[in-house]
A and B are shown apart, each in its own frame.
Chain A
Amino acid sequence: MQNKIAAARFRAKALSDIRAFFSARNVLEVETPLLSQGASHDFHIDLFSVPSEPVTGDMRFLQTSPEPHMKRLLARGYPDIFQISKAFRMGESGKKHNPEFSMIEWYRLDFSLLQMMAETVELCQTVVGPLPATYVSYGEAFLKATGLDPFSAGYELLVSHPTIAAHGLKVKDFAEAPDVLNFLMSEVVEPSLNPSILTIIHSFPLILSSQAQPDPQNPQASLRFEVFAGGMELGNGYQELRDIGEYRLRFERENAKRKAAGKPVPPLDERLFGDMQEGFPACSGVAVGLDRLIQLGMGLSRLNEVLEFPWEKS
Chain B
Amino acid sequence: MGMISTNEFRKRARILLDGQPCMIVENEFVKPGKGQAFNRVKLQNLLTGRQLERTFKSGESFEEADISYTTMQFLFTDGKIYTFMDTKSYEQVEIPKESMDGAERWLLENTECEVAFWGEKPISVTPPIFMDLIITYTEPAVKGDTSNNVTKKATIETGGEIDIPLFIGEGMKVRVDTRTGEYVERAK
Excluding A44-B35, A185-B35, A186-B30, 8 further A-B contacts by CB distance (< 8 Å) are A91-B7, A94-B28, A168-B54, A169-B56, A169-B57, A185-B32, A208-B34, A233-B33
Report yes or no: A167 in contact with B29, Cβ–Cβ below 8 A. no
In the bound assembly, the distance between CA atoms of A232 and B37 in angstroms comes to 15
Contact residue among A45, A96, A168 (Cβ-Cβ distance under 8 Å from B55): A168
Q: Which residues of B contact A (CB under 8 A)?
A: 7, 28-38, 40, 53-59
Interface centre among B28, B29, B31, B33 (most CB of A within 10 A): B33
A-B pairs, 4 with minimum CB distance: A94-B29, A182-B35, A167-B55, A168-B54
- Judge if A173 is at the interface, Cβ distance under 8 Å: yes
* Cross-chain contact B37 with A92 (CB below 8 angstroms): yes
Using a CB-CB cutoff of 8 Å, which residues 166-184 of chain A contact chain B?
167-169, 173-174, 178-179, 182-183
Q: Which residues of A contact B (CB under 8 A)?
A: 42, 44-45, 91-97, 167-169, 173-174, 178-179, 182-183, 185-187, 208, 210, 226, 233, 236
How far does the Cβ of A124 sit from chain B's closest Cβ, in whole Å? 16
Task: Please measure, in the bound complex, the distance between the C-alpha atom of A173 and the C-alpha atom of B32, giving whole angstroms.
Answer: 16
* Nearest CB of chain A from residue B27's CB, rounded to whole Å: 8
For B55, what are the chain A residues with a Cβ–Cβ distance below 8 Å?
A: 167-169, 187
Contact B54 A44 (CB under 8 A): no
**A179-B35 contact, Cβ under 8 Å, with A92-B29, A94-B30, A186-B30:** yes
State whether A182 and B34 are in contact (beta carbons under 8 Å apart), knowing that A93-B29, A94-B28, A95-B29 are contacts in the complex: yes
- Which B residues are CB-close (under 8 A) to A97? 29, 31
A168 CA to B39 CA, complexed, in Å: 12
Q: How far is the CB of B183 from chain A (nearest CB, A)?
A: 35
Please tell me if the beta carbons of A183 and B38 are within 8 angstroms of each other in the complex. yes
Contacts of B40 in A (CB 8 A): 167
Assess A173 versus B37: contact at CB under 8 Å? Given A91-B7, A93-B29, A185-B32: no
CA distance A179 to B35 in the complex (A): 6
CA distance A168 to B33 in the complex (A): 22
- Please name all residues of chain B whose beta carbon is closer than 8 Å to the beta carbon of A91 when the two chains form the complex: 7, 37, 58-59
The one of B35, B57, B59 that contacts A186, using a Cβ cutoff of 8 Å: B35
Contacts of A45 in B (CB 8 A): 34
Given the known interface contacts A91-B58, A168-B54, the answer about A183 and B29 at a Cβ–Cβ threshold of 8 Å is no
Q: How far is the CA of A311 from the CA of B76 in the complex (A)?
A: 51
Q: In the assembly, what is the distance between CA of A44 and CA of B34, in Å?
A: 6
Give, as a whole number of angstroms, the nearest-CB distance from B69 to chain A: 26
A167-B55, A168-B54, A183-B38 known; A233 and B28 CB under 8 Å?
Answer: no
Whole-angstrom distance between the Cβ of A312 and the nearest chain B Cβ: 11
Most chain A Cβ neighbours within 10 Å, of B7, B35, B56:
B35
Query: In the bound complex, how far is the Cα of B35 from the Cα of A236, in angstroms?
Result: 13
B54 to chain A, nearest CB (A): 4
- A183 smallest CB distance to B (angstroms): 7
- Please name all residues of chain A whose beta carbon is closer than 8 Å to the beta carbon of B37 when the two chains form the complex: 44, 91-92
A89 CB to nearest B CB, Å: 9
Residues of B within 8 A of A185 (CB): 32, 35
Neighbouring B residues of A233 by C-beta, 8 Å: 32-33
Residues of A within 8 A of B31 (CB): 44, 92, 94, 97, 186
CA of A219 to CA of B178, assembled, Å: 64
A167 and B33 contacting across the interface, CB-CB below 8 Å: no
Shortest CB–CB separation between residue A166 and chain B, in angstroms?
A: 9
Write the nearest CB–CB distance from B53 to chain A, whole angstroms.
Answer: 8
